[in-house]
Amino acid sequence: MDFVVKKIMMVLENPVHNLYIPSNIGIGTIIDAIFPSLMDRFYFHCERKMKGCLENARVAVVTGASSGIGKAVASDLCSRGLTVIMIARNKEKLFSTSKEISTLGGNPVPLTLDIQDYEAVKQAVKKIIMDYGQIDILVNNAGYSVSGPVENVPIEKYVSNMETNFFGSIQIVKEVLPHMQQEGKGHIVNVLSTNAIRGIPNLSSYGATKFALRAFSRCLDREMAKGHINIKVSEVFPASVDTPFFVENIDNSNGVIVPTPTPQRRKLLSAEKVAKSILILLETGKTRKFLPLKSYLLLVGNTVFPSLVDLFFLKRKKLTQTKNGL
């Protein structure tokens, strides 16, 4: 205990972001961030040389499928001949999207569902299994963002944000997982964000939900690895994407929807590009995908040299303010 107290005093006297006790934990954290498969081999003495299950998959479930990334993923999976259960809250928008995809020759099945309603989620998964016999792929994409300084965001908004982005995703996994285990195969992809790599000012609520889902994903994947179970859990880490989520769906603490300025939209990723990356994960069985590449560099830098990354963003902010005459 005295050792831990001394370490805490060191942090208070000379503030740093991360102090690992003992030092080998810090080394393990760095290796795990950069080479997660190495840590699997070290801890579980196993290397799952898994291919993704896309080639033999028949049924997929995609949440948040009425627009953006979810819509693009559903469309791509339908084009591969899968039956895709498209889940979203907005019935009118969902059915319109489903109809659009079906005209391209796919087999989308719209299912109106609020993933905050745990009992409804349970019944929905039961019905999917009853109607289609299996679920091979789950893409957890549903979510929204609450923005604003911590002191301005009501606690109720934090709770609601966590209910959808984190607990809602977990509930679907918990209902789908037993069926995948029974089949002896499956693939779960959780759509995260660069906000799950590094805290971003005014996005404490959204960032917390994505950090939590990232931790859950890693724990679940390693449970599957430890049990030598042929179920893969992967994550995709996109930066800002040109979807309704980023353009019009940011719910500020004052209740005002702030649209993304056009110049900033030009720098956003396309939903189709993120969907292609998700399909690569499903094809290869890889653990993670970062979009763009600089997101991966952010992970490495923030893990190894967090203070240096802070300095970089601070200088970039000052440079931007200077250019704008602020």
Q: Kindly report the CATH number assigned to the domain that includes residue 204.
A: 3.40.50.720
pLDDT at residue number 68: 92
Spatial separation of the C-alpha atoms in residues 315 and 130, rounded to whole Å: 56
Q: Which of 221-224's residues contact partners 24+ apart within 8 Å by CB, and which partners?
A: 221/287, 222/40, 222/43, 222/44
Spatial distance between the Cα atoms of 166 and 213, rounded to a whole number of angstroms: 6
Q: How far apart are CA 14 and CA 275, in angstroms?
A: 44
State the pLDDT at residue 263.
Answer: 43
Say if 9 falls within a structural domain. no
Tens-level pLDDT at each residue, the chain (326 residues): 555 555 555 555 555 555 544 455 556 666 666 666 666 556 555 555 667 788 899 999 999 999 999 999 999 999 999 999 999 999 999 999 999 999 887 899 999 999 999 999 999 999 999 999 999 999 999 998 888 899 999 999 999 999 999 999 999 999 999 999 999 999 999 999 888 777 788 889 999 999 999 999 999 998 988 777 889 999 999 877 666 655 554 555 555 555 544 445 556 778 899 999 999 999 998 888 888 776 667 767 767 777 776 776 666 655 555 554 54
Q: Looking at residue 217, what is its pLDDT?
A: 94
| φ, ψ of residue 4 in degrees (nearest 5) | -65, -40
Q: Residue 287 falls within a domain, yes or no? A: yes
Asked whether residue 299 is domain-assigned, the answer is no
Are 62 and 85 spatial neighbours (Cβ–Cβ below 8 Å)? yes
Asked if 206 is an active-site residue, the reply is yes
Closest CA to 136 of 102, 181, 170, 95: 181
CA separation for the pair 28, 36 (Å, rounded): 10
Provide the residue type at 302 as one letter.
N
Task: Kindly state whether residue 210 falls inside one of the protein's structural domains.
Answer: yes
Cα 103 to its chain centre, rounded Å, is 29
Neighbouring residues of 232: CB distance < 8 A, sequence distance ≥ 6: 48, 50, 52, 53, 186, 187, 188, 221, 224, 285, 287
**Residue at 33 is within a domain:** no
Q: Going by C-beta distance under 8 Å and a sequence separation of 6 or more, which residues neighbour residue 8?
A: none
Total number of domains in the chain: 1
Euclidean distance between CA atoms 74 and 192, whole angstroms: 17
Range of the domain at 263: 45-291
Q: Give me the catalytic one of 20, 118, 132, 206.
A: 206
Examine residue 272 and state whether it is found in any structural domain, yes or no.
yes
Hey, which residues does 188 pair with through a beta bridge?
138, 233
- The answer to the question of residue 169 being in a domain is yes
Which 8-state DSSP code applies to residue 221? Answer: H
Please indicate, yes or no, if residue 301 is contained in any of the structural domains. no
Residue entry with tokens 């301005």: 152
